[in-house]
Amino acid sequence: MNDRDRVLSTIRRALGRGEASAERLRGVRERLARPPANPVPARAQVSPDRQVEMFAAMAAEVASTVVRVPTPADVPAAVASYLVQHEPPPGLVAAPALEGACDWAAAGLAPRFANAGPEDQAAVVPAFAGVAETGTLVLLSAPDTPTGLNFLPDTHVVVLAARDIVGTYEEAWRRIRALPTGMPRTVNMVTGPSRTGDIEQTIQLGAHGPRRLHIVIVDG
């Protein structure tokens, strides 16, 4: 008997039954297809405007910085003015998905549209969604949004449309399940910059991932 059969048969013996009955199997398939509704935090059950405010407040609580701009055309200038706060302003790598999304050159930026390499100091990526209940960004992997951008550079800048902010994680999953491309390989839920408390239980930012997280919310 191989290990797979051995483990499964031990499980079945311990549960006091053999192979599952057709009825039990149907029950499990049904449970997988239609999970019961979760209890979700009441604080996130508010109007879309309030959800955007809650998202920004919760994100700030975990040391993200947040700025709101009126239209997509304002994004490059917002990114540029954030980056000049650092001396020297770091070079920028951007998700290929953002190429042509707006006029980067007009803001004096010349991002490399590629995955991040070890030398890249700052990355800008688009978010699929924001979750108001904890100020969490939902970032999906795809050929034009590689995962490395979210973790290698010191500075992580994320562009999020206000209409993509939802109340709860469950709403984000509903939108992901509805994607024509199906479930992405990687779903990164990001809540603030990287941190650790492993030295004397004192929180410090910038452990292995980004030292800082800046979120640009696009209202229009």
Of 73-102, binders to other proteins (CB under 8 A) are none
Work out the number of other CB atoms within 10 angstroms of the CB of residue 198: 10
SS3 146: coil
First to last CA, the chain: 61
Of 13-42, binders to other proteins (CB under 8 A) are 14-16, 20, 24-25, 27-28, 31-32, 35, 38-42
Site string for other proteins, 156-195 (x = CB under 8 A): ------------xxx--x---------x-xxxxxxxxxxx
Q: Which residues pair with 205 in a beta bridge?
A: 195
Q: Specify the residue, 79 or 152, whose C-beta has the smaller distance to other proteins.
A: 152
Piece in contact with other proteins (CB under 8 A), picked from 70-78, 85-93, 122-130, 138-146:
138-146
User: Residue 56: phi, psi to the nearest 5?
Assistant: -65, -40
SS3 101: coil
Q: Is 202 in the site for other proteins (CB under 8 A)?
A: yes
Greatest CA separation for the chain: 70
Q: Specify the residue, 99 or 103, whose C-beta has the smaller distance to other proteins.
A: 99
Using CB under 8 A as the binding criterion, the count of chain residues that bind other proteins stands at 72
Residues 46 and 76 sit within 8 Å (Cβ to Cβ): no
Q: Judged by CB under 8 A, which of 48, 49, 61, 110 binds other proteins?
A: 61
Residues 75 and 216 sit within 8 Å (Cβ to Cβ): yes
Q: Specify the residue, 39 or 100, whose C-beta has the smaller distance to other proteins.
A: 39
